Amino acid sequence: MDILNAIRQPVAAEMDCYKRYFEQALTHEDDFLGVALAYIRQRRGKMMRPLLVALVAREFGELTEKTYRAAVTVELLHTASLVHDDVVDESDERRGQTSVNGMYGNKMAVLLGDYLLSQSLHQSALTGDVRCVDVIACLGGTLSEGEIAQLANIRNGVANEQAYYDVIRRKTAELFAACGRLGALTQGASQQAIDAATHFGLQVGMCFQIRDDIFDYFPAAHIGKPTGNDMAEGKLTLPALHALNVNDDPHQHDVARRIQQGEATTNEIYAFVEWVKAQGGIEYARQVMENFRTKALRSLDAFTNDDIRRALTLYMDYVIGRDM
């Protein structure tokens, strides 16, 4: 049994039920919209976020319709953010597949993203719990704040670890935190349990983004993402920030400045990537992930279902060790 199947095992039936709710939310009788939504539906990936909702919820008993709706609403919000991100980044590919804007153009992609956002809020309303609506409404703003902060850091030449952590918390980790929170909240868990689940999700999300950023330092053939893609967009992520902090090489600091200003050449970026790796940037980022992993697993002390604790531990290990 591979690790993903092992993670899903305690909630395999629940995830099948979730898929039916998700597909229903992405179905429309209009021919053009229906086809576009079907394209999004068949690109749903590994469903890591609804899986986290389901695992946390299962700790507190059998899943209810409220929990399934909450899992759908968070995945729809995530999907909408990806559709809009690809427009902003002018990217016609995501994870080796044609992006929505690559398939239908920017205008349709923006409108589809807006539609997904409205459906996300509608699904949150269908939970019948205003707390779920509040989580999703606030989360949408937080994700946008993270992306805007990242753009501001690039424009202002801000390059330090604290600014980096603040960005990835808001643009990625808070989404996973919401998954943990909704899983517990919709099952009537205590406030202490809700806080523990939220904390676990936050640590997972921090690791998820750091792992994503590490991908940028390795060949596209291995991970489906071009080497230096983030740097081509002016982003300096954790491995580079560490390398710059431990080495005052004026040339490399100048290259870093040129990267943020969008002036670095492809060859300069490639050489900088190799320098970052030689300075131990990747090893440092992996150690930071291990620190977040330790914090996450402490949160699981509040969980009593051994199968769920085991699955959530594997979930964290998969996030840290995944290849895509």
Q: Does residue 9 register a pLDDT over 90?
A: yes
Q: Does residue 251 register a pLDDT over 80?
A: yes
The pTM is what?
0.92
- For 105-108, the CB contacts below 8 A with 24+ separation are 108/36
Share of the chain above pLDDT 90, in %: 72
Q: Does residue 100 register a pLDDT over 80?
A: no
Residue 71 C-beta-side C-alpha neighbours within 13 Å: 31
Query: Which residues does 130 contact at the CB level (< 8 Å), separation at least 6?
Result: none
Separation between Cα atoms, residue 113 and residue 75, nearest integer Å? 12
Q: Does residue 122 register a pLDDT over 70?
A: yes
CATH superfamily of 3-321: Farnesyl Diphosphate Synthase (1.10.600.10)
* Per-residue pLDDT band at 178 (split at 50, 70, 90): very high
More confident call, 201 vs 158: 201
Of 30-34, 46-50, 63-67, 212-216, the range with the lowest mean pLDDT is 30-34
pLDDT at 45: 78
15: tokens are 């995830």
Q: Does residue 220 register a pLDDT over 70?
A: no
pLDDT at 96: 63
Are 106 and 157 spatial neighbours (Cβ–Cβ below 8 Å)? no
Separation between Cα atoms, residue 184 and residue 49, nearest integer Å? 14
Separation between Cα atoms, residue 82 and residue 89, nearest integer Å? 10
What DSSP string describes 106-122? Answer: HHHHHHHHHHHHHHHHH
295: tokens are 């914090």
pLDDT at 227: 67
